[in-house]
Amino acid sequence: MCTDETMSGGREEALIHDFDGFYEFETALAAAVESGDVVAACEMVLADKEGIGTSENLKSLPENIRLPMLEAFTDLYESAGSTARRESILLTHALLSFSLGRPDDRLASARQEALKAVPRRRYGIHFAVEMAWVELASGRGVPVDFGAEMRRADAAGNSFKVKELKKTVPMLDDHHPPLNEGQPWTDRALAELVELPAAWTDLVGHAVTARASRPSAAWERKGRALLAELDAEAFRDRSLGWLSLASDPRTVENFDDHNYFATRGLVWLLSFLPEDPRTVRGLGSMLEESLRKAPGIGPALPKLANACANALGAMEGQAALAELARLTTRVTYKSTLRLLEKAVDARAQALNVSREELGEPAVPACAGTTPPARG
């Protein structure tokens, strides 16, 4: 007597075809669905070893094919006999749910368990984004470490699931803190944010969106509005304290562009405050620290260094001018040096003097390089 498992396996083998491209694959799926054998269509997808039914192709199927398959995959999961088959069903079910924009409570427990295992299982972060979307769109959360991986992939911009990440990552804001753990500065900031009013979290959340080389007018307007809700001195002290740890070794394996953007955003926000010697000293020290060479990489945090240069250039006081002039004599990294020299030249032009005449103003309160307090 044949068992259910052997019958299922035999059916799967019978459904493996040599399709000549996705058109034939889609035609076969449509024929199976229209004949009422939706399970056969699902088995064709699961048996596709050549990658014809890629995620993008499946998402492009007509809705009248995807919707019944979505329902059928739920039933197939309950009878799946192997781990690999269950994982394939989970991934495909979530992919169809994402493409249809239909949050789903079914298989929620299985998805949560699968997300806890990513990326240790045979599928990685990029294959599980749709599962995360289903959970978040259904009002549930996802594991914090998985959310951090998604943020890193989204910020790095090198995933083949760019569109899916862009749609899913913002949904983390309602469930996760604005920064990822795993760096001394973020671990300290996260520990402090828990004890601070929500306005602080909102401001750090805005800092994370600093993905351009300079703040846009809209970004600045929102940043200034959020800053107005906090005590300027408190923000200056805390943010400089956090940023003083930005170059310290991380405790996670992968570089975190999400947190990197946040450092740039915090620097921009500092430049919106009234000029203060502590800010100027802190930015100058941070700039130099960011350009220290990392083995096999070069300057450790060049984007942060450039953000500090732009922030100092945006300040109009004598303290910032003195720091800019000092840094032009010390910095050798060409990208940052150009920004520093451009800022000094702009100040000279504004004062209607030559750069040589401008010289290096003596401002003892800001001439040193003592970093901000790290404690």
Q: Is 108 helix (H, G, I), strand (E, B) or coil?
A: helix
pLDDT at residue 50 greater than cutoff 60: no
pLDDT-derived band at 126 (thresholds 50, 70, 90) equals confident
At residue 2, the pLDDT reads: 32
Tell me the C-alpha distance between 211 and 188, whole Å.
23
The answer to whether the CB of 92 falls within 8 A of the CB of 58 is: yes
The answer to whether the CB of 266 falls within 8 A of the CB of 242 is: yes
Q: Is 298 helix (H, G, I), strand (E, B) or coil?
A: strand
Quickly tell me which residue has 């809209």 as its tokens: 218
Write the burial class of residue 70 (CB in 10 Å: 0-12 exposed, 13-18 middle, 19+ buried): buried
Please give the residue that has the higher pLDDT: either 54 or 245: 245
**Strand 293-294 to 298-299 pairing:** antiparallel
pLDDT at residue 99 greater than cutoff 70: yes
For the chain, the straight-line distance linking the first and the last C-alpha, in angstroms and rounded, comes to 73
Tell me the C-alpha distance between 301 and 297, whole Å.
10
Cβ contacts of 275 within 8 Å, gap of 6 or more: 315, 316, 317, 319, 320
pLDDT at residue 66 greater than cutoff 70: yes
Q: Is 56 helix (H, G, I), strand (E, B) or coil?
A: helix
Tell me the C-alpha distance between 151 and 181, whole Å.
12
- Two tokens, residue 351: 């004062």
Write the burial class of residue 21 (CB in 10 Å: 0-12 exposed, 13-18 middle, 19+ buried): exposed
The beta strands (E) that lie in the chain are given as 293-294, 298-299
The proportion of the chain whose per-residue pLDDT surpasses 70, expressed as a percent, equals: 86
The answer to whether the CB of 208 falls within 8 A of the CB of 190 is: no
The answer to whether the CB of 257 falls within 8 A of the CB of 348 is: no
Please report how the helices 22-34 and 63-79 are oriented relative to each other, as an axis angle in degrees rounded to 10: 80
* Residue 126 DSSP symbol: G
At residue 294, the pLDDT reads: 86
pLDDT-derived band at 14 (thresholds 50, 70, 90) equals very low
pLDDT at residue 369 greater than cutoff 60: no
The answer to whether the CB of 284 falls within 8 A of the CB of 319 is: no
pLDDT at residue 10 greater than cutoff 80: no
Residues 160-171: tens digit of each pLDDT: 889 999 999 999
Tell me the C-alpha distance between 36 and 65, whole Å.
11
- Two tokens, residue 320: 């910032």
At residue 20, the pLDDT reads: 58
Q: What's the pTM value of the predicted model, to 2 decimals?
A: 0.85
At residue 26, the pLDDT reads: 85
What number is the average pLDDT over the span 186-214?
A: 97
Mean pLDDT of the chain: 87
Tell me the C-alpha distance between 156 and 126, whole Å.
13
pLDDT at residue 151 greater than cutoff 80: yes
The answer to whether the CB of 223 falls within 8 A of the CB of 270 is: no
Tell me the C-alpha distance between 31 and 40, whole Å.
10
At residue 120, the pLDDT reads: 54
At residue 118, the pLDDT reads: 75
Tell me the C-alpha distance between 283 and 312, whole Å.
7
Residues 301-356: tens digit of each pLDDT: 999 999 999 999 999 899 999 999 999 999 999 999 999 999 999 988 888 777 77
- Closest by CA position to 76, among listed 29, 110, 30, 124: 110
Q: In this structure, how many other beta carbons lie within 10 angstroms of the beta carbon of residue 163?
A: 12
